[in-house]
Structure 1
Amino acid sequence: MMSEATAQTFRVSFDENNQEFSIVGSMRPQHERDLAGCVKLFEQSLQSVRGTLYVNVKRLVRLNNIAFRVLANLLLKAGGERDDLKISVITSSVVGWSTRKFNALSDIRPNIVIEEYDNEFYPGQAFLEEGGFIPILRTQTKMTWRHERGILPRHGLKPGVVMADICCGIGDFAVLAFKEFAPARIVALDHSKSSLAYARKVAADFGIQGIEYVYGDASEMLLEENQFDFVTCRHSLQVFDRPELILKELLRICKPGGRVYITNEKNSHCLGEPRGESIQWTYNEVARVWAHFQMDIELGPKSRRYLLDAGFENVMMESFMVTNLDGDPQDFADIIRSWERVYAGEMAVQRGDTPEFIERFRQGFQDHVFAALHPKGYAGWPIWVASGRKPL
């Protein structure tokens, strides 16, 4: 059962099945009496809760002192009167002040705990944003762009559209799309502050002012619904342990009739000759290492099912192979070496693999580099592209 009370700029609701009291929007009342509906719904909600009450404020973007005082009193009173009750306040690092504010309540009542939602949601993120990956991402985009610049128009990217690039990383794809297709506007969002800092520098280096870089959580975006004609999310669903939550948000911000475009990989299909058997063994193991950290580097061919399950229609899908023949073979080799550093040098070590396993694991990457640089060699990295239309 869902109960709901509404105010001008915020919405409160209680989901009895999940015992979750949620506040969304901007809560800035003039007087405490302006929150009477919120207080009433919270008090009613308490009557049916057993065990843990979840108070979800991860999409509460503004909160003035009057509102915080009302909420704090409600939570402290509930925590004091109900010794049997645990109150879990769910915040987001994207709205950084909320964690700091609500943390004060846990110092007063031990049964009030603060949980930063996105710290748990991105289990493998540290490997991919702060480690040895950032320096090579621009090379990856350069090699995939040779293919995608011809693919994107088939999926709906054209001049004048309003575009969003979600999980934009270091921002180079947004810059290329802006230069090539001249969209009216691009909003590029990512959860990594270091990546966004680099992205803003890249845009400045190219003298581009039509890209708005935004810090945000892709599973709970502080973006209005139905505002983008074309939404991209590249090489990202495979990183999250619950990609369906990302797709739900991509659908929400896309205009009816607009399209969402995603790219993902299936690393076990990476190939190379000579030394193909060693290469194949290593990339099968890559999939297992990623799965250990709750990520799915095999997601690519599953993209159509994910889009249809999310509610998209007219789903289009195709694939392409990035190879050592796409420009300078050294670029391909550099990408593989970066994979070896992260997958064998960090992820396998953290998983607790033996030195013998890691040595064999590394050998497959090194053999892939050998295939890429061999004068008669061939090395490939497959990418799946899919897009779906939001129903009218």
Structure 2
Amino acid sequence: MIAEKTTQAFQWTYNENDQEFALHGSLRPQNAEELSGCISELEHSVANVSGKFYVNVRRLVRMNNVAFQAFACKILDLVHGRSDLNVHVTTSSVVGWATRKFAVLETMSDKITVSEYDSEFYPGQSFVEDSEFIHVLRTQTKLTWHHEKDLLRKHGLKPGMQVADICCGIGDFAVLMQKEFSPDRLVALDHSKSSLDYARQVAADFGIKGIDYVFGDAADMLLEDDQFDFVTCRHSLQVFDRPELILKELFRICKPGGRVYVSNEKNSHCLGEPRGESIQWTYNEVAKLWHHFDMDIEIGPKSRRLMLEGGFEDVTIGSFMVTSTDGDPQGFADVIASWKNLFAGKMASERGDDAAFVERFAKGFDDHIFAALHPKGYAGWPIWVASGRKPL
């Protein structure tokens, strides 16, 4: 059972099944009495709970000292008065002040714990946030854009819409959408500060206006419900260990009748000739490597099922192949080389792979590059695209 209460500035919910009390929005009361209803609901929620009680402040965007003192004192009172109760406060690294404030409670009682929700949620974040990977991401977007600009139209993107690009990375896809479709509003959100810094610098250098770059957690965005006509999220569900949570947030911020557009890979279907057998072996191993880090680079064809299970209707799915014959074979080869450096380098090392495996693993990427650049060769990288409509 989920109970929910709302005031003008903030909301609170209680999920009985999860024993979780969540605060949302902006808590800036002039005095503690203004919070009496919320505090009373907190006390009522705890009354029938034993064991661990969760207080979720991940989407609390503001909180003044009056509010913090009121809630901190109440949480301390609860654990002091109940031998059978422990309280766990969940914050988000996106809202840095919350962790700093609530961490004080851990020093005041060993029955209170505080953790950042997203510190372990993104198992591959350290890999994709590497600033050295930025030029690779730009090349990848160049290779996919001439396919996607037509696909975006087919999936419903039109000029003048309210658009969000979630997990925007270095922001180049948002820039291309801005130029091609002239949205009325475009919000680009990502969890990587280095990527967003790069995106803002590019926008400033090239005089690109109209894109609002936002630092945020895609699984728990500080964006209001039902805002956007069209929401994109590219090559990102495959990075998260619980993609259904991302889809839930994409669904939430999309307007009823609007569409969510996602693209993902099935890396084991990368191909090339000559030397196809070596290439195939390596990309099968890529899938296993990502699985080791709780990521799924095979998720592409699963997108339809995930969207239908997430409540979307009119789900459309298809795929396209980026190839070495699309334009610049060297650009394609550069992308493969970056994959080799990341997968057969940093990721394989962290998994603890031995030298013999890494040598064979790396050779498959070299052979894929050979196929891409060979005058009679061919190399391909498949991508699945799906979109679904949020019901009216």
Normalised by the size of structure 1, how large is the TM-score?
0.98
1:133 pairs with 2:129: no
Match of residue 204 from structure 2: 204
The one-letter code matched in structure 2 to 1:252 is R
State the Cα deviation string for residues 230-268 of structure 1 (Å, max 9, x = none).
110000011011111111111111111111111000000
State the Cα deviation string for residues 128-178 of structure 1 (Å, max 9, x = none).
112642221000000000111121110111111111100000000000111
For structure 1, the 5+ residue unaligned runs are none
The one-letter code matched in structure 1 to 2:208 is I
Percent of residue pairs identical: 67
Match of residue 103 from structure 1: 103
Q: Contact 2:131/2:195 (CA < 8 Å) preserved in 1? A: no
Question: Aligned runs of 1:268-279 on 2, under 5 Å?
Answer: 268-279=268-279
Match of residue 36 from structure 2: 36
Q: What is the alpha-carbon distance in structure 2 between the residues aligned to residue 354 and residue 27 of structure 1?
A: 53
May I ask how many residue pairs the two structures share in their alignment?
392
Match of residue 282 from structure 1: 282
Deviating more after overlay: 197-206 vs 68-77 = 197-206
State the Cα deviation string for residues 265-298 of structure 1 (Å, max 9, x = none).
0000000000000000000000000011111100
Q: Contact 1:136/1:338 (CA < 8 Å) preserved in 2? A: yes
Match of residue 228 from structure 1: 228
Match of residue 381 from structure 1: 381
Partner of 1:115: helix, strand, or coil? Answer: strand
Q: What is the alpha-carbon distance in structure 2 between the residues aligned to residue 336 and residue 121 of structure 1?
A: 27
Question: Aligned runs of 1:139-178 on 2, under 5 Å?
Answer: 139-178=139-178
Q: How far has the Cα of 1:73 moved from its partner?
A: 0.1
Partner of 1:90: helix, strand, or coil? Answer: strand
Normalised by the size of structure 2, how large is the TM-score?
0.98
Match of residue 218 from structure 1: 218
Match of residue 11 from structure 2: 11
Q: What is the alpha-carbon distance in structure 1 between the residues aligned to residue 385 and residue 16 of structure 2?
A: 39
For structure 2, the 5+ residue unaligned runs are none
- Structure 1 runs of 4+ with >6 Å offset: none
Q: Contact 1:16/1:48 (CA < 8 Å) preserved in 2? A: no
State the Cα deviation string for residues 343-364 of structure 1 (Å, max 9, x = none).
1101111111111111111110
Q: 1:148 to 1:4 in 2, by over 3 A?
A: closer
Question: Aligned runs of 1:244-323 on 2, under 5 Å?
Answer: 244-323=244-323
The one-letter code matched in structure 1 to 2:167 is C
Q: Contact 2:131/2:194 (CA < 8 Å) preserved in 1? A: no
1:343 pairs with 2:343: yes
Match of residue 116 from structure 2: 116
The one-letter code matched in structure 2 to 1:350 is E
Q: What is the alpha-carbon distance in structure 1 between the residues aligned to residue 144 and residue 288 of structure 2?
A: 24
Q: How far has the Cα of 1:5 moved from its partner?
A: 3.5
